[in-house]
Amino acid sequence: MTAPGIPAGAEPLEGAIGKLVGVGVGPGNPDLLTRQAIEVIENADRVAAPAIAADVPGRAESIVTTAIPGIHLERLVIAMPVAGRHNGRGAEGDAGGDAGDATRSSYDMAARRIACWLGAGEDVAFVTLGDPNIYSTFPTVAQAVRTIVPELQTETVAGICAFQDLAARSGTVLLDGSQSLALVSARDGAGELRDALARPDRAVVVYKGGNHLPAIVSVLEEHGRLEGAILGELLGMPGERVVPLSQATGPVSYLASVIIPPGDP
């Protein structure tokens, strides 16, 4: 019988267990894949990447295969929550908070595959957009694997974040002196943004705001912070756009980022 908490069809594994490493591959431009990330990926026994379908390469996979030609990746199909989909572009990288049955089932299936590789003594590199410790799929995947492999060893390799790339591309200085930065998610609306703007001199970065862009603009207007705010989407990918938020029109990717420089104290 399967032990409590272990997905059906999977049993605890015995023997030498491999290591699971979450590897951040940056926001999109393959040139932003770090040397450490490349080394870990090339030395892994197996490399896995999230995808929205078995026949559709995910964004993280596309970055890696461009930077490391000939590398083989295993696609792990992970169903993202409805809130993580916008205009058919998918939402790779979003663990989704309160996931539905389909999402939980897909994580369990991915965990079983990873557990099999680990049980064979393989070290597995799981590639993910941005950084594996910031709004990433990796912690949820690792948690699901740990229900099968309680002794699981995990490590992470830092990746460049979208807001860093966006600041560089737009020539925006986010912080100076003793200023602070708030990083918030707008996945469920602009509520967190209101709290972050309570301090006028604080820089704010908004992730996953594509579905709620009008609300974000409205909140920034209320606080007098719309001027200077920058929208970036699909950075380093086809369809890339970097524009002042006040000039953003048309459909916006769910994974779009907004940076709001510090205002006057």
Both structure tokens of 177: 């002196």
Contact 123, 21 (CB under 8 A): yes
Residue 151 has a CB neighbour count (10 Å cut-off) of 9
Percent of the chain with pLDDT over 70: 87
The Cα 14–Cα 16 span in angstroms is: 7
Q: Look at residue 137 in the predicted model and tell me its pLDDT.
A: 93
Q: How confident is the model at residue 3 (pLDDT cuts 50, 70, 90)?
A: very low
Non-local CB neighbours of 8 within 8 Å, separated by 6+ positions: 2
Q: Look at residue 249 in the predicted model and tell me its pLDDT.
A: 86
Both structure tokens of 22: 């979450």
Q: Look at residue 96 in the predicted model and tell me its pLDDT.
A: 39
The residue type at 221: E
The Cα 192–Cα 185 span in angstroms is: 7
Could you tell me the sign of the dihedral formed by the alpha carbons of 55, 59, 61, 64, in that order? positive
The residues facing 108 across adjacent strands are none
Could you tell me the sign of the dihedral formed by the alpha carbons of 190, 196, 198, 203, in that order? negative
Both structure tokens of 72: 């083989």
Residue 183 has pLDDT above 80, yes or no: yes
Q: Three-state SS across 188-208?
A: CCCHHHHHHCCCCCCEEEEEC
The Cα 235–Cα 162 span in angstroms is: 7
According to CATH, the superfamily of the domain at 162-260 is Tetrapyrrole methylase, C-terminal domain (3.30.950.10)
Residue extents of the structural domains in the chain: 19-157, 162-260
Residue entry with tokens 């939402």: 91
Mean pLDDT of the residues in the chain: 87
Q: How confident is the model at residue 172 (pLDDT cuts 50, 70, 90)?
A: very high
Residue 178 has pLDDT above 80, yes or no: yes
Lowest mean pLDDT among 65-79, 92-106, 238-252: 92-106
Lowest mean pLDDT among 118-122, 127-131, 217-221, 237-241: 237-241
The Cα 201–Cα 258 span in angstroms is: 17
Non-local CB neighbours of 231 within 8 Å, separated by 6+ positions: 213, 241, 242, 243, 244, 245, 248, 252, 256, 257, 258
Options 3.30.479.30, 1.10.1660.10, 3.40.1010.10, 3.40.50.300; CATH for 19-157 is 3.40.1010.10
Rg from Cα positions in the chain:
19
Q: Look at residue 14 in the predicted model and tell me its pLDDT.
A: 57
Contact 253, 89 (CB under 8 A): yes
Q: How confident is the model at residue 30 (pLDDT cuts 50, 70, 90)?
A: very high
Q: Look at residue 245 in the predicted model and tell me its pLDDT.
A: 96
The side-by-side arrangement of strands in the sheet containing 257-260 is 181-185, 203-207, 257-260, 230-233, 241-244
Residue 83 has pLDDT above 90, yes or no: no
Residue 262 has pLDDT above 60, yes or no: yes
Q: Where are the alpha helices (DSSP H) in the chain?
A: 35-43, 59-67, 101-119, 138-146, 162-170, 191-196, 213-222
Coil, helix or strand at residue 5:
coil
